[in-house]
Structure 1
């Protein structure tokens, strides 16, 4: 999990930017390319707003929202920005927030409430537990499905997820030499990948850099693998320990599909098993 932080300009400046956006193009949407739900339909009838407008800070929250059944999802921080330390919200971001029904954020992202305040949105702020542990994912999808009124879609996604996860778990475990899973050390936000591999971590580190004392302690456990966080890697975690380091990606792509994250982790773990 990347500790994504965004610098927030003054609320006055952001609010002014939003007013400029509205003045220059009040008919523009939230960036999704869809017509406004409040625009009149052909023949003068009103378009029924039957789905929530969801704004999320990153693609990770976006994938949870999509899994829960949300269709109209706007991502603030681009997927290409892993840490986003220098990202400043644009007027179009504020315009999207102003039209949102829900704004999803993680507790380590301090800018979500400020974005909402600057845009003057009445959206409901929803804190999401960003963890790819399968049980935690399904709990969050259930919660969001209930909030969005899309519980049936959330249940259907969970069924497909369970099937895919079980297959990947079986494939990875079958790749271990002799069928024995390795001992692993994980970054605090990659423990879910050890679970996917059927392995039990012998130690964890992070999100801060490993101290000399931790280095000695973790190396003494003689792990076969180190599951590092690709979004906040500090380089080789246990040099000279003989452990193979595997980079684990937490964030989904722009398609907001969570399943490729698990497929990617499984592929990397199978490579490690084959080496």
Structure 2
């Protein structure tokens, strides 16, 4: 798997932008007992790096959410933060980012005097999603909204899982090889995971080892794909999309994955 070249704004440019932002003055707002900034009367202002963090924030109950990386950017780490992005970061109550994002350190540097940086565990596994939603809701002061979202999520997830498993050929769980960020889709499908790969490039040795497992499915990461993962293995490759759309709704991610999985299992 080829490595992606990531462009990062130079430290000089970022420092200059940060100086402009902090020069405008933000003032330190009230804080909660744990040191987090207290939400205003209309809820916290949350700035997120991508729509993935944005969907977690929305699920947790945040209503004022600004996304830095446009949804049109297929591979979010390729994005080069602009000075206007850093200005938005400095004015937020909370700034959500993922540790694997190359610009995460620069985003944290741009956090203003009142903003609280929050590292998010981006994983669409249902248990991990609900744990993160609970954690964020505790920070935002939006527990009731998060509880309502989780209730709807449980119903929708159960429906999609049931639909996918009804499509098993011969009523038997399919075997699958997954990319490290798509293991959640194997769980949704009720598939038996026989191997994983990534995020580093697949070596010839791994290729031979994974092909020998004779998986029925390969669940590839659509955001990091370099083509057919196990050529000549006979496995059906399914591109799994992790990032939600601009509406920051996480549920369509599961619906779309379920549809692609059912299509692959039906052989269409």
Fold match by TM threshold 0.5: yes
Whole-angstrom distance in 2 between the partners of 1:264 and 1:93 = 30
Helix, strand or coil at the partner of 2:10: coil
Q: Could you tell me the TM-score, scaled by structure 2's length?
A: 0.87
Whole-angstrom distance in 2 between the partners of 1:84 and 1:162 = 28
Relative distance call for 1:229 and 1:86 in structure 2 (3 A) is closer
Following superposition, the deviation at residue 273 of structure 1 comes to 1.4
Alignment match, 2:9: 8
Give the one of 53, 59, 62 matched to 1:61: 53
Following superposition, the deviation at residue 96 of structure 1 comes to 1.0
Q: Say whether 1:244 aligns with 2:236.
A: yes
Whole-angstrom distance in 1 between the partners of 2:78 and 2:42 = 36
Q: Say whether 1:102 aligns with 2:103.
A: no
Whole-angstrom distance in 1 between the partners of 2:77 and 2:128 = 27
Give the one of 135, 152, 161 matched to 1:160: 152
Give the one of 133, 140, 163 matched to 1:141: 133
Aligned length: 250
Following superposition, the deviation at residue 76 of structure 1 comes to 0.8
Deviation digits for residues 187-220 of structure 1 (CA, Å, limit 9, x no counterpart): 1110100000011201111111211111111111
Give the one of 202, 212, 234 matched to 1:220: 212
Whole-angstrom distance in 2 between the partners of 1:95 and 1:124 = 14
Whole-angstrom distance in 2 between the partners of 1:6 and 1:128 = 22
Runs (5+) with no aligned partner, structure 1: 27-47
Following superposition, the deviation at residue 126 of structure 1 comes to 0.6
Whole-angstrom distance in 1 between the partners of 2:46 and 2:84 = 15
Alpha-carbon contact 2:14-2:106 (below 8 Å) kept: no
Helix, strand or coil at the partner of 2:232: coil
Following superposition, the deviation at residue 87 of structure 1 comes to 2.5
Alignment match, 1:150: 142
- How much is the aligned-residue C-alpha RMSD, in angstroms? 2.2
Helix, strand or coil at the partner of 1:175: coil
Whole-angstrom distance in 2 between the partners of 1:190 and 1:117 = 30
Whole-angstrom distance in 1 between the partners of 2:227 and 2:242 = 17
Whole-angstrom distance in 2 between the partners of 1:156 and 1:51 = 17
Whole-angstrom distance in 2 between the partners of 1:86 and 1:192 = 24
Stretch of structure 1 that moved more, 188-197 or 206-215:
206-215
Relative distance call for 1:163 and 1:85 in structure 2 (3 A) is closer
Alpha-carbon contact 1:183-1:224 (below 8 Å) kept: yes
Following superposition, the deviation at residue 248 of structure 1 comes to 0.4
Relative distance call for 1:76 and 1:264 in structure 2 (3 A) is same
Q: Could you tell me the TM-score, scaled by structure 1's length?
A: 0.84
Whole-angstrom distance in 2 between the partners of 1:5 and 1:121 = 29
Alignment match, 1:44: none
Alpha-carbon contact 1:113-1:125 (below 8 Å) kept: no
Following superposition, the deviation at residue 75 of structure 1 comes to 0.7
Give the one of 65, 69, 76 matched to 2:68: 76
Helix, strand or coil at the partner of 1:126: strand
Relative distance call for 1:165 and 1:217 in structure 2 (3 A) is same
